[in-house]
């Protein structure tokens, strides 16, 4: 019987079967190989390759493990982050809230859940979910205790901003989580993860929920927890997707049946994370679209000559637009004409409720009016402070120019370049004037002060040479005094 070779690398000979490797099967071109033959796609793959600077998988796993557990350092940092965020929300300080987000360790268990699901590590997912629940519960309870004892009980704009999620919160959590997952798996430490901690707010919503629990504002509590769940779910989902793309080793199982069940469970966890997230995102998009269209409708159709909008309440759940007007009273015919234009703004199923006159003012209107006033005051304060900062910068520049012109020296940036030509260790230079008032027989005079900052201490002879050079450079208009400082 002649020998017959097959593409599985074996030979059948005679009546007996003898198996031995013969040759490998011919390679079949794939779509990927065709694409990689094109220079443009090879360039794209090189530019967007995430594996070339990825950290060692063992280091990544160690970092994930260290961030999951809430004991010792992580637990103390969590308590301090809760208190800092609560104080920031209480006094309406954006800077303090940002600081709390930076030091908060809540990203650890969220990253652990996504990473564990991507690498088929059951224990990692279980511990991540457990510790996330513990940390979230502690955050709400500790912040609630703080708000029970603080004398400041008013809800500021920073606190109110964490009670109603928007479409942008979903996008920020997803894209920020993806950026954080990439930064977390790099060899070099970068500022990506701290930036993600600021962008995807986790601690402030939990402290806002604590405020709602302490003051019995259940709507605040529900909205803040809703925002936290959205952020946590989308960050975990982003970590799962990025980790699946990266060449990370999968968790090994001794029993194949156990491995199959575990993989099914991981995909179920991923779907349970993704499906509610997509559902929540879709609901937020619908709510945001309705609120945007309703706001535009009120601004364009109800601001009539002689009539003024005092408050507006847009209730998505009831599909209602509740408006309080004052000034000229609209006739029933005018109100019918306004309602007929709802279709133009894609609000065909919305109910328009128009109340006219301040006698119709209720407690909800008073709260909405107070919130609007707080936002307006905050916006005006920010604009005023920005104007003050810009004016102060202009005045400082003007004073610097005047000081340079009176001293006979060039502008600080030009003088710095001249000094660096002879003294390369000089890094910064500033000019100022020291006025000496008239006393007894001495007339008033002004000394030019040149402050120089160097990377290392200047030798005495070099410092004396620089001082003499500055006096010659300034001429005889003003005496010059040199101040030296070394950067640490």
In this structure, is residue 396 part of a structural domain?
Answer: no
Q: Note whether 99 and 169 are same-domain residues.
A: yes
| Tens digit of each residue's pLDDT (9 = 90 or more) over 244-265 | 888 877 766 666 776 677 667 6
pLDDT at position 307: 80
In this structure, is residue 303 part of a structural domain?
Answer: yes
Q: 434 pLDDT band (50/70/90 cuts)?
A: confident
Cα separation of 475 and 61, whole Å?
66
Give yes or no for residue 458 having a pLDDT over 80. yes
Q: Note whether 79 and 188 are same-domain residues.
A: yes
Q: Note whether 135 and 228 are same-domain residues.
A: yes
Per-position DSSP letters for 133-144, written without gaps between them:
HHHHHHHHHHHH
Percentage of residues in the chain having pLDDT higher than 90: 2
Angle at alpha carbon of residue 163, lines to 160 and 167, rounded to 5°: 115
Which of 310, 340, 366 terminates a domain? The answer is 366
Q: What is the sign of the dihedral through the CA atoms of 255, 256, 258 and 263? A: positive
Q: Note whether 94 and 188 are same-domain residues.
A: yes
Cα separation of 395 and 398, whole Å?
5
State which residues form the domain around 72: 57-251
pLDDT at position 141: 93
In this structure, is residue 349 part of a structural domain?
Answer: yes
435: CATH:
3.30.70.1350
Q: Note whether 243 and 303 are same-domain residues.
A: no
In this structure, is residue 24 part of a structural domain?
Answer: no
Q: Note whether 342 and 459 are same-domain residues.
A: no
Predicted model pTM = 0.54
Q: Note whether 232 and 319 are same-domain residues.
A: no
- 184 vs 87, residue with greater confidence: 87
Report, as an integer, the average pLDDT of 143-170.
76
Give the DSSP H or E segment for 449.
strand 445-454
64: CATH:
1.20.1080
Cα separation of 238 and 174, whole Å?
6
Cα separation of 217 and 155, whole Å?
10
Cα separation of 228 and 354, whole Å?
35
Which of 198, 231, 251 terminates a domain? The answer is 251
Q: 142 pLDDT band (50/70/90 cuts)?
A: very high
Closest among 474, 472, 466, 418 to 446, alpha carbons compared: 474
State CA 425 to chain mean position distance. 38
Cα separation of 296 and 445, whole Å?
64
The DSSP 8-state label assigned to residue 210 in this structure reads: H
Cα separation of 227 and 385, whole Å?
30
DSSP, collapsed to helix, strand or coil, labels residue 185 as: coil
Q: 145 pLDDT band (50/70/90 cuts)?
A: very high
pLDDT at position 467: 87
Angle at alpha carbon of residue 116, lines to 110 and 118, rounded to 5°: 110
In this structure, is residue 390 part of a structural domain?
Answer: no
Report, as an integer, the average pLDDT of 43-67.
79
Q: Note whether 158 and 95 are same-domain residues.
A: yes
pLDDT at position 62: 85
What domain count does the chain have? Answer: 3
Q: Note whether 82 and 186 are same-domain residues.
A: yes
Report, as an integer, the average pLDDT of 94-114.
84
Give yes or no for residue 59 having a pLDDT over 80. yes
pLDDT at position 19: 40
Q: Note whether 226 and 313 are same-domain residues.
A: no
Spell out where 7-72 has E strands: 11-12
In this structure, is residue 105 part of a structural domain?
Answer: yes
Do residues 70 and 129 lie in contact, with contact meaning Cβ atoms separated by under 8 Å?
no
What tokens does 54 get?
């990825």
Report, as an integer, the average pLDDT of 423-437.
81
pLDDT at position 433: 75
Cα separation of 22 and 11, whole Å?
7
Do residues 216 and 148 lie in contact, with contact meaning Cβ atoms separated by under 8 Å?
no
Residue 425: C-alpha distances to residues 199, 454, 482 (Å) = 39, 5, 16
294: CATH:
3.30.300
pLDDT at position 12: 38
Which of 224, 251, 278 terminates a domain? The answer is 251
Do residues 309 and 298 lie in contact, with contact meaning Cβ atoms separated by under 8 Å?
yes
| Tens digit of each residue's pLDDT (9 = 90 or more) over 330-363 | 888 888 888 888 888 988 888 888 888 766 666 6
pLDDT at position 13: 40
Do residues 334 and 307 lie in contact, with contact meaning Cβ atoms separated by under 8 Å?
no
What tokens does 85 get?
């965020």
Do residues 300 and 327 lie in contact, with contact meaning Cβ atoms separated by under 8 Å?
no
Give yes or no for residue 192 having a pLDDT over 50. yes
Report, as an integer, the average pLDDT of 5-17.
39
Would you give the end-to-end CA distance of the chain in angstroms? Answer: 88
In this structure, is residue 259 part of a structural domain?
Answer: no
What tokens does 114 get?
């996504």
Residue 382: C-alpha distances to residues 24, 389, 393 (Å) = 72, 10, 16
pLDDT at position 441: 55
| Tens digit of each residue's pLDDT (9 = 90 or more) over 19-32 | 444 344 444 455 55
Do residues 172 and 200 lie in contact, with contact meaning Cβ atoms separated by under 8 Å?
yes
Give the DSSP H or E segment for 441.
none
User: Dihedral of the CA atoms 131, 136, 142, 145 (nearest 10)?
Assistant: -140
Tell me the pLDDT of the chain averaged across its residues. 77
Q: 411 pLDDT band (50/70/90 cuts)?
A: confident
Cα separation of 45 and 36, whole Å?
8
Torsions phi, psi of 452, nearest 5? -125, 135
Q: 324 pLDDT band (50/70/90 cuts)?
A: confident
What tokens does 476 get?
């005889």
- 368 vs 299, residue with greater confidence: 299
Q: Note whether 101 and 227 are same-domain residues.
A: yes
Q: How many CB atoms lie within 10 A of CB 189?
A: 9
In this structure, is residue 284 part of a structural domain?
Answer: no
Q: Note whether 360 and 408 are same-domain residues.
A: no
């Amino acid at each position: 019987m002649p020998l017959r070779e097959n593409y599985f690398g074996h030979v059948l000979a005679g009546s007996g079967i003898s198996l031995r490797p013969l040759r490998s099967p011919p390679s079949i071109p794939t779509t990927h190989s065709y694409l990689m033959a094109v220079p443009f796609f090879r360039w794209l793959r090189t530019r967007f390759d995430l594996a070339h600077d990825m950290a060692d998988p063992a280091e990544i796993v160690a970092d994930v493990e260290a961030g999951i557990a809430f004991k010792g350092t992580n637990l103390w940092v969590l308590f301090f982050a809760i208190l800092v965020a609560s104080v920031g929300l209480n006094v309406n300080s954006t800077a303090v809230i940002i600081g709390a987000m930076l030091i908060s360790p809540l990203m650890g268990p969220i990253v652990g859940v996504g990473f564990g699901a991507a690498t088929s590590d059951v224990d990692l997912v279980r511990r991540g979910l457990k510790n996330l629940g513990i940390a979230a519960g502690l955050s709400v309870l500790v912040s609630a205790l703080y708000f029970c004892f603080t004398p400041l009980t008013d809800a500021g704009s920073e606190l109110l901003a964490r009670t109603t999620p928007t479409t942008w919160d979903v996008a920020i959590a997803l894209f920020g989580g993806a950026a954080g997952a990439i930064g977390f798996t790099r060899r070099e430490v970068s500022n990506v993860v701290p930036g993600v901690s600021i962008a995807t707010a986790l601690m402030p919503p939990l402290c806002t929920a604590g405020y709602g629990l302490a003051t019995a504002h259940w709507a605040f509590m529900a909205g803040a927890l809703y925002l936290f769940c959205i952020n946590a779910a989308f960050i975990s989902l982003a970590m799962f997707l990025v980790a699946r793309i990266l060449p990370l080793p999968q968790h090994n199982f001794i029993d194949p049946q156990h491995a199959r069940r575990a993989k099914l469970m991981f995909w179920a966890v991923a779907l349970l994370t993704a499906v509610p997230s997509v559902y929540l995102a879709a609901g937020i998009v619908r709510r945001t679209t309705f609120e945007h269209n309703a706001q535009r409708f009120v601004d364009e159709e109800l601001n009539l000559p002689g009539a003024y909008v005092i408050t507006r309440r847009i209730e998505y759940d009831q599909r209602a637009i509740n408006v309080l007007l004052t000034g000229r009273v609209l006739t029933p015919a005018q109100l019918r004409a306004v309602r007929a234009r709802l279709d133009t703004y894609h609000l065909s199923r919305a109910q328009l409720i128009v109340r006219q006159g301040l006698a119709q003012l209720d407690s909800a209107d008073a709260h909405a009016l107070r919130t609007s006033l707080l936002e307006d005051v905050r916006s005006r304060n920010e604009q005023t402070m920005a104007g003050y900062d810009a004016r102060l910068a202009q005045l400082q520049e003007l004073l610097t120019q005047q000081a340079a012109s009176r001293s006979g020296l060039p502008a600080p940036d030009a003088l710095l370049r001249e000094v660096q030509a002879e003294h390369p260790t000089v890094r910064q230079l500033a000019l100022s004037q020291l006025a000496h008032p008239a006393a007894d027989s001495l007339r008033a005079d002004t000394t030019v002060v040149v402050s120089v900052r160097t990377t290392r201490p200047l030798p005495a002879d070099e410092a004396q040479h620089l001082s003499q050079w500055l006096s010659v450079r300034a001429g005889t208009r003003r005496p010059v005094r040199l101040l030296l400082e070394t950067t640490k």
